[in-house]
């Protein structure tokens, strides 16, 4: 149950142009490398997946030229057997030369190639910052490809209550502390959001998408921004 909150407000006089707070929820035993410069491309920094089916893929990465991408898998009741790895989507964008629009347009029509995903791309230069969103699961977000105009936005594996509530809290923090003068406080407050264990339950959309856990404690735990399930060997990374 991953979440990501992004602020791309154009601040002046020391304000941060881009603020990202993200939780990746995953099983304990999934082998990964922590964020670092990539051995084959020192221009890129991000975590790496070490599983055989997705080796070298990633869920979030950026390069020194101002390209950033993050991936969220979509909860689906039916998945495509032998689908292509979604973890390559971020990797290919930050390592490639295509613009965000060119890259995302190429992904249109991928419903039968990948299982459901949401991909957020950011391209930043000294004069501009553009955010694009693409999903191959059109039930969630309306148009599959969008140039985002909203400066503060949250995303999750589905349109869940915890994403909307987390976005509100994230927005308040950015308004108060989104300046280099408050760097330490900003980090502390953002970590507070990512560790927020309040249950946003019942959530009809979450209930619909997690039929394997009807009314259980695990289903309720999925409704918080911070997800921890020791009995399932499952929790978040920030």
80-92: per-residue pLDDT in tens?
A: 888 899 999 999 9
Q: Report the alpha-carbon distance of residue 231 to residue 218 in Å, rounded.
A: 9
Contacts of 104 (CB under 8 A, 6+ apart): 119, 121, 132, 134, 145
* Predicted TM-score (pTM) above 0.85: yes
Does domain 3-237 correspond to CATH entry 3.90.550? no
Judged against a pLDDT cut of 90, whether residue 69 lies above it is answered with yes
Cα-based distances in Å from 27 to 60, 184, 219, 234: 17, 30, 16, 4
Residue 98 has a CB neighbour count (10 Å cut-off) of 13
Check if the beta carbon of residue 155 is closer than 8 Å to that of residue 4: yes
Crossing angle, helix 100-107 and helix 87-95, to 10 degrees?
Answer: 150
Q: pLDDT (tens digit, 9 = 90+) per residue, 169-221?
A: 999 999 999 999 999 999 999 999 999 999 999 999 999 888 888 888 889 99
What residue spans define the domains of the chain? 3-237
- With bands split at pLDDT 50, 70 and 90, how would you rate the model's confidence at 233? low
User: Which of the residue ranges 75-79, 153-157, 168-172, 190-194 would you say has the lowest mean pLDDT?
Assistant: 75-79
């Amino acid at each position: 149950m991953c979440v990501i909150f992004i602020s791309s407000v154009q601040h002046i006089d020391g304000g941060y142009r881009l603020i990202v707070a993200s939780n990746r929820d995953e099983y304990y035993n999934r082998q990964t490398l922590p964020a670092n410069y990539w051995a084959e491309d020192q221009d890129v920094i991000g975590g790496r997946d070490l599983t055989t089916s997705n080796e070298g893929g990633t869920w979030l990465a950026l390069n020194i030229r101002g390209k950033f991408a993050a991936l969220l898998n979509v909860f689906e009741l039916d998945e495509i057997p032998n689908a292509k790895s979604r973890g390559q989507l971020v990797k290919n964008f930050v390592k490639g030369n295509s613009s965000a629009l060119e890259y995302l347009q190429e992904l249109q029509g991928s419903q039968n190639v990948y299982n459901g995903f949401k991909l957020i791309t950011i391209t930043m230069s000294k004069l501009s910052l553009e955010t694009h969103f693409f999903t191959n699961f059109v039930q969630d977000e309306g148009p599959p490809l969008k140039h985002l105009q909203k400066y503060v936005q949250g995303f999750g594996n589905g349109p869940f209550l915890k994403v909307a509530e987390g976005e509100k809290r994230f927005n308040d923090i950015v308004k108060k502390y989104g300046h280099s003068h408050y760097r330490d406080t900003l980090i502390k407050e953002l970590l507070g959001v990512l560790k927020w264990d309040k249950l946003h339950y019942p959530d009809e959309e979450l209930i619909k998408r997690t039929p394997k856990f009807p009314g259980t404690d695990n289903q309720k735990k999925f409704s918080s921004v911070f997800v921890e399930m020791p009995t399932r060997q499952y929790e978040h990374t920030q």
